[in-house]
Structure 1
Amino acid sequence: MSSGTTRADADSPSAATAPPRSRGNRVEERGIESVPEAERRGRPRELFLVWFSSNMSYLPILLGGSLMMLGLSTWQAVAVLLAGNTFWALVGLLAVSGPSTGSPSAVIMRVLFGVRGNRVIGCGLGWLTAVGFEAINLSITVLAGQALLSEAGIGGSAVSRGVILVLVSVVTFTISVYGYDAILRMSRAITLLLTLSLLVAAVFVAVHAHPGTDGSADAALGPLATALVGFTVVSSGPLSWLSGADYARYLPPTASRRSVAGWTAAGGWLASVFLGLVGVLAGTAVDMTDPMTSMTTLMPAWFHPVFLAAVIVGTLANNVLTSYSSGLLLQGAGVRIRRARAVLLDGVLGGGIALYALVAASFLTALNNILALSVVYMGPIIAIYALDLVLRRNRYGAGELADLRPGGSRPTGVGAAGVSAAGVIAFLAGTLAALLCVNTTLWTGPVSRWLGGADLAAVVGPLVAALGYAALTRTGNARLGRTDRSSDAPREPGAAGTTGSAGTPPVPVVDLRLSAGGLVVIRRTRRSRG
């Protein structure tokens, strides 16, 4: 995209205006760079609201209900729910890389896979997954909206579904364009409303629940195999959040790492577990094949509209966070597109997938397939990211993140072609191992068949990827822990230490700034190779 002002990402909380540019000075946006240290503020505890409110959606309820449909007993389902959500600890760990670099995950993953490798693996697959989850959330919102119209006696035709889908898409993706500040304000506004509404709903569900329910007699698999299939489905929730750094990067570099990780993980975990338990209890009382309609039978008539409205608002909040990060991932994948257009593209693709899901023979079957298959490749990516952060002790060189040239200033192990052999090989090994162990209606791996249908993808994939990455980085003598610490406190372009010294060619990068009018200015700066 050419230089100038664009309606892109209202990322930074303060205003800055670029100096006049000479005519014909055109710079293409190749990614979202770091938020300058002078523009970072806030406290780690603010992350709790962001992650808690965005996960107070209907999806965890669906996941909890699906555990009962698989044929687990109530207490088995609770155990699987708690085990699968332990992956929120990894999401919290990834968030730690945000304050130290000021960069989103789309940029940080360059050191894992290389500039070109990241475009395909980290950003490319991450973006596809985000679009898939956006479609799921849109589908849920449409179902809730249609049920709400039925409560008002309007009925639910195909036309009404289309109208609801368009309206929800417009609201969701409009908020996403305005960036982190808008998301934080939204989180503060809706957290109390959602919490109170869903707590009341939980009470009504608990009154009608039958905790002693055991559906193992109807299970197609044995108890252990069924539990492992459920574990993969539940773990897909936290493993879909590759973007932990995206929201923590607005905090100052002095922010406590333990607090950043803890508040991030706590927000997502608490919301997911609480609503997952509601889904499990609902599954003991009603048929969750048609969850939107069946759950309302557990509540008094006056509360139906309140519950459905809470579902719509909560799912919308989840989609705002997802679409915000998906825009960063698409730009990080090398697509030269303005953020507003990236969000629009997400809306069109997500809406199309949502329409298909709504007319599919079984919505829950389609949902479980998407979730289970996303674990196959997202698990290895997150495992490599987390291990790399630990190995380098959260130290990232400025040159590694800022240089967009495949053969430029690159971290140890990244070849001149812009691909990290260690990261790519470890990812491929982990993904292949997960494919051999996954169990879905679309694909069942040979290891899963040999184990009687047990699904070990969420365990084997990340484990193989992490072990492979550790072995390959040791073999390649990649001294990750000794990376330049200059990025622990990223400097603004033009500040001391950012220009090339004598004999060191400067590296051109692209920076995004928020102008007084709320527009992002893209301009060329010069930064040393780091």
Structure 2
Amino acid sequence: MKVEKRSIEFVPHGERYGRPRRLFTVWFSTNLQVTALMIGTLGIASGLGLMWTLLGLLIGSMIGTVFMAAHSAQGPHLGVPQMIQSRAQFGVHGAAIPLLVMVTAAVLFMAASGVLMRDTLKSLLPVTDNQAILLIGVMTFVIGVVGYELIHRMAAWMTLLSTLVFGTALVLILIRASSMDMLHSPPGGFSGPAFNLVIAQAASWTLGYGPYVADYSRYLPADVRTRDTFWTTYFGCALGSLGMMGLGALLASVVPSALDMDPGAAIADLFGPWAYIALMVVVLGVIQYNVLCLYSAYMSSTTIFSGFARLQQIRPGMKALVMATLSVLACWIATRTQYHFDTFFADILIGQLYLLIPWSAINLVDYYLIRRGKYHIGDLYDARGQYGRWNGRTMFAYAVSVLGTVPFMKLSFFEGYFAQLIGADVSWIAGLSLAGLLYYLVQPHGAAAAETKKYPNRSPLPGWANSEEQG
């Protein structure tokens, strides 16, 4: 298997391949891992009943995944990484603002995964805490450097392995629940704040994929139908995340002690003498999730400096160097914060969503409502082109939207007025609505036509229509 050569540049038609069904396995297996399982335990830990928790998870997953899948559908049409396309809204240099947020979020999630899997890996190998975190970082780096094709192949295998392990775990939990007569009278009741929390957490989980989901669809042929890309991504992500979160809720209900355990160990304990095999699949699942974070953090990092340096292509050596730097940074953060993990990460990881969700709304409104998928790919790489260096209107809409979500925020040190009133953090709804509406109002309609007049030799056709120019 060859190391991927393409990075932030347009993928020529001659190199496009694959079918949308590959997206199902990528997003199904990426979500079928214990990080998503922990989201499902939150409602139970807050005293919410199992049925109400499952309903909240279903509502949140179904809503949040709509926006994530809408981003994925852009990939085959444009043939560029997700955040490169953001230059059309923010400007070639202005896109650095959401890009920095994306890189920060991805590195922190990588660090969080390292801490989360530390004890699980130690139960498999005779390593220290720091060595376990470092080993996870090294495995993530190697797969990330090889790139796109290995990621997809790993996803296909992990779909099979994770389904076997977590499907078996579900059966074992149901057997235990039945023997304890818990299926007829599960513990917990209804709580409005806890129910809203479950919906928000489930929606935020899938919304968080928005800034990089198209990175894994951009190699598909340009004639792939948008609805095929959308629905394979949607069902892959929704079924994987909902299945794993639901398993977490059931596990926390039937085995309350699992809330105080390492999530990998909680699953492995169900398998008795087969625990070792289950632990290996658990570790591989989190590493796969980490690889997506690293790959997309690399894309975003190079998009930032390439915009200022006017680069359209990144050499393999530079790719390896950037990925190594990001991996080392994530490992350093993980080792320095591992013993006060919850305090350090909880607010920061949530805070990324406050900044990324308004970006998502702006990107989707621009693509589907204003430009209707019509972009000049060459100008996404040229600050002198039609998208310019900075887009003041977009910056205004983005800044106002972030500030507008403050009353809906709920952090350990701050709780906005509406968050107190509702009893949960619903900033994701405010961020999507406010940013989308503001951007639609401040952006001149017919922008694509106006740019055609200003740049008569640069038609704002879909990116795939300019393949000869871009190849």
| Residues 322-369 of structure 1: per-residue CA shift (max 9 Å, x gap) | 111110001112277822122112212211232244301x64x65543
SS at match of 2:385: coil
In 2: Cα distance, 1:377 partner to 1:183 partner? 27
SS at match of 1:35: coil
After the TM superposition, list the runs of 4 or more consecutive aligned residues in structure 1 that deviate by more than 6 angstroms: none
CA contact 2:141–2:291 (8 Å) conserved in 1: yes
Select which of 39, 46, 50 maps to 1:70: 46
Label 1:184 to 1:279 Cα distance change in 2 as closer, same or farther (>3 A). Answer: same
- Whether 1:470 aligns to 2:440 is yes
Q: Displacement, 1:446? A: 3.2
In 1: Cα distance, 2:3 partner to 2:106 partner? 18
- Whether 1:130 aligns to 2:106 is yes
Q: Displacement, 1:173? A: 1.0
Letter in 1 for 2:352: S
Could you tell me which residue of structure 2 aligns to residue 120 of structure 1? Answer: 97
Letter in 2 for 1:99: P
CA contact 1:137–1:319 (8 Å) conserved in 2: yes
Letter in 1 for 2:93: R
Label 1:491 to 1:246 Cα distance change in 2 as closer, same or farther (>3 A). Answer: same
- Whether 1:10 aligns to 2:9 is no
Label 1:165 to 1:291 Cα distance change in 2 as closer, same or farther (>3 A). Answer: closer
Could you tell me which residue of structure 2 aligns to residue 46 of structure 1? Answer: 22
Residue pairs, 1:360-509, within 5 angstroms: 360=340, 363=342, 368-391=346-369, 392-403=371-382, 405=383, 408-411=384-387, 418-449=389-420, 451=421, 453-473=423-443, 476-480=444-448, 484-489=459-464, 491=466, 495=468
Q: Displacement, 1:398? A: 2.7
Label 1:198 to 1:253 Cα distance change in 2 as closer, same or farther (>3 A). Answer: same
- Whether 1:181 aligns to 2:181 is no
Could you tell me which residue of structure 2 aligns to residue 255 of structure 1? Answer: 224
In 2: Cα distance, 1:259 partner to 1:282 partner? 34
Q: Which has the higher helix share?
A: 2
| Residues 268-326 of structure 1: per-residue CA shift (max 9 Å, x gap) | 11111111111000111223132437625851421322222121010011111111111
| Residues 87-124 of structure 1: per-residue CA shift (max 9 Å, x gap) | 11211111121111110012101011111210122x11
| Residues 128-164 of structure 1: per-residue CA shift (max 9 Å, x gap) | 1111111122222213112345xxxx6xxxx611111
| Residues 66-88 of structure 1: per-residue CA shift (max 9 Å, x gap) | 22112211112111211221211
In 2: Cα distance, 1:425 partner to 1:104 partner? 24
CA contact 2:408–2:430 (8 Å) conserved in 1: yes
SS at match of 1:463: helix
Could you tell me which residue of structure 2 aligns to residue 358 of structure 1? Answer: 338
Normalising to structure 2: TM-score of the pair?
0.87
Unaligned runs of 5+ in 2: 453-458
The structure that has the greater radius of gyration is 1
| Residues 154-210 of structure 1: per-residue CA shift (max 9 Å, x gap) | 6xxxx6111111111111111101110111122223321121111111211222343
Could you tell me which residue of structure 2 aligns to residue 269 of structure 1? Answer: 238
CA contact 1:399–1:410 (8 Å) conserved in 2: no
- Whether 1:88 aligns to 2:65 is yes
Label 1:266 to 1:181 Cα distance change in 2 as closer, same or farther (>3 A). Answer: same
Q: Displacement, 1:441? A: 1.0
- Whether 1:316 aligns to 2:287 is yes
SS at match of 2:423: coil
Count of matched residue positions in the alignment of Structure 1 and Structure 2: 444
In 2: Cα distance, 1:485 partner to 1:234 partner? 37
Of 44-53 and 476-485, deviating more is: 476-485
Label 1:58 to 1:32 Cα distance change in 2 as closer, same or farther (>3 A). Answer: same
CA contact 2:61–2:238 (8 Å) conserved in 1: yes
Label 1:371 to 1:78 Cα distance change in 2 as closer, same or farther (>3 A). Answer: farther
Letter in 2 for 1:393: R
Letter in 1 for 2:77: S
Normalising to structure 1: TM-score of the pair?
0.78
Label 1:266 to 1:275 Cα distance change in 2 as closer, same or farther (>3 A). Answer: same
CA contact 2:271–2:278 (8 Å) conserved in 1: no
In 1: Cα distance, 2:230 partner to 2:337 partner? 34
- Whether 1:278 aligns to 2:247 is yes
In 2: Cα distance, 1:183 partner to 1:395 partner? 29
Could you tell me which residue of structure 1 aligns to residue 455 of structure 2? Answer: none
Label 1:437 to 1:185 Cα distance change in 2 as closer, same or farther (>3 A). Answer: same
Letter in 2 for 1:466: G
CA contact 1:100–1:395 (8 Å) conserved in 2: no
SS at match of 2:216: helix
In 2: Cα distance, 1:167 partner to 1:60 partner? 22
Label 1:192 to 1:160 Cα distance change in 2 as closer, same or farther (>3 A). Answer: same
Select which of 83, 93, 111 maps to 2:88: 111
CA contact 1:103–1:249 (8 Å) conserved in 2: yes
Label 1:357 to 1:205 Cα distance change in 2 as closer, same or farther (>3 A). Answer: farther
CA contact 1:229–1:455 (8 Å) conserved in 2: yes
In 2: Cα distance, 1:270 partner to 1:481 partner? 40
